[in-house]
Amino acid sequence: MEKHELVIIGGSAGGIQAAICAQKHHGLKDILVIRIEEKAMVPCGIPYIYGTLGSVEKNIMPDTLLGEAKLRIGEAVSLDREKKTVKLKDGDEIGYNKLILATGSSPLQPPIPGIDKKGVWFAWKNTDYLEELAKAIDGVGEIVVIGGGFIGLEFADECRKSGHNVTVIELLEHCLQLVCSTDLCIRAEETLTEKGINIITGNGVKSINGAEKAESVTLQSGEQVACDMVIIGIGVVPNVRLAKDAGLEIGPTGGIKVDEFQRTADQDIFAVGDCAEKYSFFNGEPVPVRLASVATREGKIAAANLFQAQWRNIGTVGVFSTVVGDTALAMAGLTDTNAQKLGYAVVIGEAQAASKHPGTMPDAHPLRVRLAFDRRSGKILGGCACCTQSVGEVVNLIAAAIVNEMTMEQIAMFPMGTHPWLTASPLVYQFTDAASNALHKVKGTVQAV
């Protein structure tokens, strides 16, 4: 039986990052990564296979990222914590000193009658499956996308770019409602509608109809929508069977329970990524946030803490971004609604200006920033930005302000740098101006929200 200093089960974002960090942080040479898939997909890039990228091969993470770590393609089927061994499907046993579970997640499959019909597809992170989906999409006309979250909208937009007629069906009042403020949700819906996508909200799917393959869906309202294909993107469920069978505790949102150092109840086993339970930065309660960016941070933390506790997970903030049509949207931290549910007295600051200065510069577009603060402490709780592609980094700046508990006054006085090609004018710099706007409301120079 072979044995390794560190075994990592799972080779997507969290597992890869753990392998990289274990080598850098500890100089570990004896690392084995066990992965089911022959090739690791870029998880967030899957929708773009069917439009912008054009092929599965353009959405693969290179194995060279693993450095000197060894890679074994196989499926781990059981874990013996007492013997410290992992058994593979082919019968081989592998021993470990330390183990990191990065088993990821699988698409959520709701109990909709007809979900098992031909022509119903999910965002599985499997190259063969995704190549089959690419062949199936080619030539079909009408596509129904169930789910108006990020994956659903990105699939819809990419299929629209390829010439398909697309209808998005979302159970909630708005698409993106679970993570975005209402104004951003509406902006996304308007953009997609302008591009020709049919958006149906506040209406769930009652059944998927057809003799053998999907031919239509019936909504809870009774309306029927004809289709040639259904793509379901309503979220994911953590892959925890291996951990659960080994007696490790599972948390309230379905992930493997871990402490602030990513350790499970077994001090030699860590869990990272979608399979691990997440805890809110704001109140420490479990939250169902599953993102590749969160997985990589947890991979770093677990690897650093293999032999002694060094790096602490301060909690999940939730930083999201997407592009629909020609509109980029990004959000970090708490929405107004969620902040109020947690008992915060919310005050909003907003600012909009051209993304370059002067506004007559080529490719200058309106960039709007909206920040939410706690009126009592002044600390930032969340924020969003739209509508240029620079919002991806703007929202990272907002996230940095959140984890450092910056106040509206500190952000208003933030020492920004500006340049005509790169940013708004320093006179109307959106991040600081939004904080100033909130500060003036609190001080009473502007009517409070």
Whether 446 has a pLDDT exceeding 80, the answer reads: no
| Whole-angstrom distance, CA of residue 393 vs CA of residue 340 | 26
Domain boundary among 234, 269, 295: 234
Cβ atoms of 258 and 299 closer than 8 Å: no
Give Rg (Cα) of the chain.
23
Coil, helix or strand at residue 435: helix
Do strands 76-80 and 70-73 pair parallel, antiparallel, or not at all (unpaired)? unpaired
Do strands 366-374 and 346-354 pair parallel, antiparallel, or not at all (unpaired)? antiparallel
pLDDT tens digit sequence for 260-305: 999 999 999 999 999 999 999 999 999 999 999 999 999 999 999 9
CATH number of the CATH domain containing 157: 3.50.50.60
Cβ atoms of 372 and 342 closer than 8 Å: no
Among the residues of 355-429, which ranges form H helices? 391-403, 408-412
| Whole-angstrom distance, CA of residue 293 vs CA of residue 319 | 8
pLDDT tens digit sequence for 93-149: 999 999 999 999 999 999 999 999 999 999 999 999 999 999 999 888 999 999 999
Whether 442 has a pLDDT exceeding 70, the answer reads: yes
Do 349 and 417 fall within a single domain? yes
pLDDT tens digit sequence for 136-186: 998 889 999 999 999 999 999 999 999 999 999 999 999 999 999 898 999
Whether 374 has a pLDDT exceeding 60, the answer reads: yes
Do 16 and 121 fall within a single domain? no
Domain boundary among 216, 234, 252: 234
Specify the number of domains making up the chain.
Answer: 3
Q: Which pLDDT score, from 0 to 100, does residue 388 have?
A: 83
CATH number of the CATH domain containing 409: 3.30.390.30
| Whole-angstrom distance, CA of residue 144 vs CA of residue 168 | 6
Whether 212 has a pLDDT exceeding 90, the answer reads: yes
Quickly state the pLDDT bin for 443 (edges 50, 70, 90).
confident
| Whole-angstrom distance, CA of residue 145 vs CA of residue 89 | 35
Domain around 100: 2-106+237-304
Whether 444 has a pLDDT exceeding 80, the answer reads: no
Q: Which pLDDT score, from 0 to 100, does residue 169 have?
A: 98
Q: Which pLDDT score, from 0 to 100, does residue 318 have?
A: 94
Average pLDDT over residues 334-363: 95
Nearest to 81 by CA among 264, 228, 318: 264
Q: What letter does residue 263 receive in the DSSP assignment? A: B
Furthest-apart CA atoms within the chain: distance in Å: 73
Quickly state the pLDDT bin for 387 (edges 50, 70, 90).
confident
Whether 445 has a pLDDT exceeding 80, the answer reads: no
Do 345 and 275 fall within a single domain? no
Do 228 and 241 fall within a single domain? no
Q: Which pLDDT score, from 0 to 100, does residue 1 have?
A: 86
Instruction: Report which of residues 443 and 87 the model is more confident about.
Output: 87
Domain boundary among 190, 206, 234: 234
Cβ atoms of 70 and 32 closer than 8 Å: yes
Residues 6+ apart with CB under 8 A from 161: 51, 52
Coil, helix or strand at residue 233: coil
How many CB atoms are located within 10 Å of the residue 83 CB?
A: 12
Quick check: bond before 358 cis, omega within 30? yes
Q: Which pLDDT score, from 0 to 100, does residue 64 have?
A: 95
Tell me what the pLDDT averaged over the chain comes to.
95
Do 289 and 339 fall within a single domain? no
Do 48 and 158 fall within a single domain? no
Do 17 and 101 fall within a single domain? yes
Is residue 313 in some structural domain? no
Do 433 and 416 fall within a single domain? yes
